[in-house]
Amino acid sequence: MFVCSLKAFKQAQEEEELQLKEEIFKALDDILTNLKNSERFVFDQLLEKLKTKLNQDPILSKWLETPDALSRLRTYIINYQSSNTVLTQRVARPAVATLALPQHPEGYFLALAKGISRKLFSQHHVNKILYIQVPELEPVIMDNDWLCRMDMALLRNPPQLDALRETIVQCVVGCDLPLLIWHNNDATGHERVKQIKTWLNERNLDENRIIDLGLKSTDSLSHLFQPTKLVELMPDELAELLVAKLDNLNISIKFLPDNVDICRDIGQKFEHYLLSYLWEGVSEKLEMPNLIIGLDRELQFSQQMKEQNLDQQLRDLLEKNSNTKSYATVLNEVVRKFFDTFMGQHRAEIQGLAQAHLKGLHEGDKQ
């Protein structure tokens, strides 16, 4: 009878283990289903999300309090991954280098700290630098195209603390961009911010260039769930929190020049398109500056650009829906659209004015 009882106990354990495995695998299925196909995450994020989901069930929540629950959860995820190719494809992979910069409209490239300069960041439309305390989350930022979406560079965690100090100093000396520090809401995270400011003070550099993002959420749901570790949030949740923090700090998500420069760029780009059109076949005969002035006087294209608020159109397009395109690309698109419409309406007039201009030059030569 004892043997029968032992066998029944063992069978009950096996059934309980199987049921637990099914519940965990189902929870993992639900997590993956609720994520976008483009989201890439690291193992620790998936583990934290799984714990949160299991805690919603009273029985599983109690099981999570057992001493070996965490190690068993890791084993379950590994077993799930071995039979699920989708999970393997969704895991963000780490890269090796000091600085990651956006390569619009998608992707990134890596650079060394010694190459940091205002010119480098300006060429790639970067308006801020992000350092994240948790190195495991760096591939999440890069693989999900946050660098292009938010026009920022990522300062990666080097193996040694001394190397981090030198890289941060190089960033502050080499450019005038804000350096954002994103860390866990714990003593280690807060200490890292203090340490970085101390490094700058030791070099007589402005510590106000350092902006502490922290982790505390300020949205309407923050009273329901307040994370203490960055890995407790999945990629889209992290991105939404970062965008909200930047907005609260009045730090622009996208790289944008000053208003005067935007209007100047729009005018120059339009003139470039117009000159390209007029240039074909008659370039050697036209006095381009006088012709452009005459065309604007007759057709009022500068006034039309102001009335249609091309500068505001550019800002709106660049800042909406996490646009991964650069300022230069959107500038081209906005002005090209205006140019095509303008030419559709005034092509014959432009040709007539250009011919009249040529005739005037020809008659001037005769005299």
Q: Of 97 and 257, which is predicted with more confidence?
A: 257
Q: What is the pLDDT of residues 315-367, one digit of tens each?
A: 999 887 667 899 999 999 999 999 999 999 998 888 888 888 777 766 655 55
Which of 44, 99, 52, 349 is CA-nearest to residue 226? 52
Give the pLDDT confidence score for residue 233 in this predicted structure: 92
DSSP element (H, E) containing 102: strand 99-102
Amino acid at site 118? R
pLDDT above 60 for 140: yes
Give the pLDDT confidence score for residue 356 in this predicted structure: 82
**Confidence category of residue 161, pLDDT binned at 50, 70, 90:** confident
| pTM above threshold 0.75 | no
Q: Is 22 helix (H, G, I), strand (E, B) or coil?
A: helix
The H-assigned helical ranges of 249-287 are 259-279
Q: Of 262 and 282, which is predicted with more confidence?
A: 262
Q: Which of 19-33, 96-110, 217-231 has the lowest mean pLDDT?
A: 217-231
Q: What are phi and psi of 177, to 5 degrees?
A: -80, 155
pLDDT above 80 for 39: yes
Give the pLDDT confidence score for residue 1 in this predicted structure: 52
Q: Of 261 and 217, which is predicted with more confidence?
A: 261
Order of strands, edge to edge, in the sheet holding 128-132?
A: 108-111, 99-102, 152-155, 128-132, 179-182, 210-212
Q: Specify burial of residue 35 (Cβ count, 10 A radius: 0-12, 13-18, 19+).
A: middle
Whether residue 215 contacts residue 189, with contact meaning beta carbons closer than 8 Å, is answered with yes
Mean pLDDT of 251-259: 91
